[in-house]
Chain A
C-alpha cells in the first residue's frame, strides 16, 4: 500500500514568523481589531507592533486610535491576517 508522502507543512507560528516586518491585521475578542507592522512575537503570541491603528467598534460607530509602538497581549487575539487591512476590505466590498 502506497504511503502518502509527507507534504511540506508549516507550523502556524512559523507562518507568523514569516510576517515579521510586514503589515498584519489582528482581530481580537470583543469588537476590536489592530493593524500594524509586526516586529516580533513570543510563544504566547504576545506581539510587538509598530505604526499601529486600533479599531474599536461601538454602537456609536468605529473609533480609530493611532499608536507608535505597542506590546499586544496575546490573550485576546482570535485571528491574524498577514498583509490584511480592514480599510482595504471595505474598499473591496464597496467595489
Chain B
C-alpha cells in the first residue's frame, strides 16, 4: 500500500520532468507536428540538430555522437564521436567531419 503511494508520488512530478525534457525537443508550439503527420527530411534535420545521432556509412561503419551541423549534401559535423566497426568501438574523436556522399542514414539515437 505504502509502495503504491510511493509510486503515485513519484509519478506526479512528470510535468516537471517534461519541463526538463521540453527544451531539448525544441519544437516551437506552432510547428509541433502531430505524432502521425508528414515529416520531410528538412523537418527531421531540424529535429536532430544538436542531439545524439547514429550515422551509418556505406562502408558499414557507424559513427555515434552529437550532430552539430548538416547541409544539403548530408555533409555533417559531429562532436564526441565514437567510431564503431562491426559493432566494436574502434576510435573516439572530439570533432568529426563526414563527407555526405558516404552517408547511408542518419538515425536519431533513442533516449536512454
Contacts and interface: CB of A to CB of B under 8 A. Distances in A.
A71 B38 contact: no
Contacts of A46: 41, 74
A72 B38 contact: no
Nearest to A47: B41
- DSSP majority for the A interface? strand
Interface residues of A, number: 23
Interface in B80-112: 100-101, 103-108, 110
B11 interface: no
- B interface, size bucket: 20 to 34
- DSSP majority for the B interface? mixed
B105 A71 contact: yes
Contacts of A70: 105-108
B91 to A, nearest CB: 21
Contacts of A41: 40-41
Contact of A48 (B36, B44, B100): B44
12 contacts: A20-B38, A32-B104, A39-B39, A39-B44, A40-B39, A46-B41, A47-B41, A52-B107, A67-B54, A69-B44, A70-B105, A73-B105
Interface of A: 20-21, 28, 30, 32, 39-42, 46-48, 52, 56, 67-73, 75-76
